[in-house]
């Protein structure tokens, strides 16, 4: 999971986004529909995300890798 978070953080920066908080298994950023935006990147930029989605699909009814825990307007820290 940590490697998936690290890859996402790198790609959020590549997408011009900002991250305001990071924990062991998650982060807060300002890109709406982040997973959808990440999936638009070339496959070589998101290999861990793709593998995580594949494994999640095999283990559950969802292939989504990222889970939105909370959303809102303004800066949350």
Torsion of CA 30, 35, 41, 45, to 10 degrees: 100
Pairwise CA distance, residues 75 & 10, whole Å = 20
Pairwise CA distance, residues 10 & 6, whole Å = 6
Q: What is the pTM of this model?
A: 0.84
**Residue 71 pLDDT > 80:** no
Burial of 38 (0-12, 13-18, 19+ CB in 10 A): buried
pLDDT classification of 61: cutoffs 50, 70, 90: confident
């Amino acid at each position: 999971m940590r490697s998936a978070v690290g890859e996402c953080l790198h790609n959020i920066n590549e997408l011009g986004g900002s991250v305001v908080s990071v924990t062991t298994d998650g982060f807060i950023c300002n890109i709406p529909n982040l997973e959808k935006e990440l999936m638009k990147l070339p496959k070589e930029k998101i290999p861990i995300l793709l593998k995580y989605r594949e494994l999640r699909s095999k283990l559950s009814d969802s292939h989504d890798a990222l889970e939105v825990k909370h959303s809102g307007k303004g800066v949350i820290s």
